[in-house]
């Protein structure tokens, strides 16, 4: 067969555009509609065939390493580049039949938990659909207590061998047996329940204990609770991934919790006691006299349980002082008298150095 590059009149380092340009130029000269000469028609076929190979990156690469580029490998024996790799890296050696009994795959399921369950832990019952061992054939895949018979084609080896010609000479290659799909045996009487696979799909209930302190992304491994393998092989593992749901008014930060509480201006100035809801029930929080907006009160040990270690985080109570937007005449008069008693002149301000907004300010603003 003539060299394809020579057929198109280009070098081996020719670009796609060079190849395309050369083909168009030759095609205009040898096309049957332009030149009805039978010899020219054959030349046109050669040019077209060369272009089909060299314009396709995969076919061109195959041709450059010694293949014919037309998808049938080297020569007429069906020998391709992959066969050379097999010959050099073990493909020509006998690998033996594939086992029918194989380990099952791992499975992943996501479970949603609320903040309280994430803090204190809980137990769940998971209903999952998975592959279980076929009870009718006990996982063998064979009906009526029969057994797989040895494949007549590969004689139990699971593969067939053939001699192919290549640029390296004759090479022995191995391929999985088409008759038995590489198992070396054939199930003549497959189980009617599992169709010879040794397993069926079914739903089952699996208990799982979710430890205290988990958060979104944590995974719990349940060994042997995944899918049963083909041929009744051992089951894989089941991984339970935690998805923590957002709480109505509590915000989690690692093991600490944050809550925003708004109190009236007078209560902040005089001091008071407020009652808040926590994961441990209602708790009283003392607001000291003169508390400023943005202040924080820490309640020790009322946060999330530490997943690794002991104890719990804290509950951080962020105070927001509310200013009344509307006052009646009596309230205005009283407030003016209060300002006069403190010698607070109207329009008098104190300039403070600005600071970047911190995390807790952002948390507080999120609750507004």
Binding site per annotation, positions for Zn(2+): 134, 137, 151, 154, 177, 180, 191, 194
Q: How far is CA 110 from CA 208, 239, 243, 245, 278, in A?
A: 12, 8, 7, 12, 27
Q: How many residues does the chain have?
A: 368
CA 363 – CA 316 distance, rounded (Å): 11
Q: What angle do CA 356, 250, 296 make, to 5 degrees?
A: 45
Q: 308 φ, ψ to 5°?
A: -120, 115
CA 62 – CA 80 distance, rounded (Å): 8
Which residue positions form the known binding site? 134, 137, 151, 154, 177, 180, 191, 194
Q: For residue 166, give the 3-state DSSP assignment.
A: strand
Closest by CA position to 279, among listed 307, 261, 299, 254: 299
CA 10 – CA 159 distance, rounded (Å): 43
120 close to 153: Cβ distance less than 8 angstroms? no
254 close to 316: Cβ distance less than 8 angstroms? no
């Amino acid at each position: 067969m003539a060299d394809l590059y020579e057929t198109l009149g280009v070098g081996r380092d020719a670009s796609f555009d060079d190849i395309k340009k050369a083909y168009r130029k030759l095609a205009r000269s040898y096309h049957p509609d332009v030149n009805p000469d039978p010899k020219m028609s054959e030349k046109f076929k050669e040019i077209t065939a060369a272009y089909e190979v060299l314009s396709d990156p995969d076919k061109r690469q195959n041709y450059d390493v010694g293949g014919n580029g037309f998808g049938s490998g080297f020569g007429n024996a069906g020998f391709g580049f992959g066969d050379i790799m097999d010959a050099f890296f073990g493909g020509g050696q006998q690998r033996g039949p594939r086992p029918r009994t194989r380990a099952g795959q791992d499975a992943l399921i996501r479970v949603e938990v609320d903040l309280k369950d994430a803090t204190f832990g809980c137990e769940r019952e998971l209903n999952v659909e998975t592959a279980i061992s076929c009870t009718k054939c006990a996982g063998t895949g064979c009906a009526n207590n029969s057994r797989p018979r040895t494949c007549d084609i590969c004689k139990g080896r699971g593969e067939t061998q053939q001699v192919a010609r290549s640029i390296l000479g004759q090479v022995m290659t191995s391929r999985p047996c088409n008759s038995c799909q590489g198992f070396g045996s054939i199930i003549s009487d497959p189980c009617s329940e599992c169709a010879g696979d040794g397993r069926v799909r079914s739903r089952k209930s699996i208990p799982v204990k979710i430890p205290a302190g988990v958060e979104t992304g944590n995974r719990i491994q349940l060994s042997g609770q995944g899918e049963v393998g083909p041929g009744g092989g051992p089951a894989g593992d089941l991984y339970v991934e935690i998805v923590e749901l957002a709480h109505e008014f509590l915000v989690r930060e690692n093991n600490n919790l944050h809550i925003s509480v708004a109190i009236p201006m007078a209560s902040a100035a005089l001091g008071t006691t407020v009652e808040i809801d926590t994961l441990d029930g209602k708790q009283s929080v003392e607001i000291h006299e003169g508390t400023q907006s943005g202040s924080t009160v820490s309640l020790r040990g009322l946060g999330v349980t530490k997943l690794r270690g002991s104890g719990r985080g804290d509950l951080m109570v962020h105070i927001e002082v509310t200013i009344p937007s509307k006052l009646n005449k009596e309230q205005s008069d009283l407030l003016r008298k209060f300002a006069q008693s403190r010698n607070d002149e109207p329009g008098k301000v104190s300039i403070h150095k600005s600071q970047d907004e911190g995390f807790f300010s952002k948390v507080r603003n999120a609750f507004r």
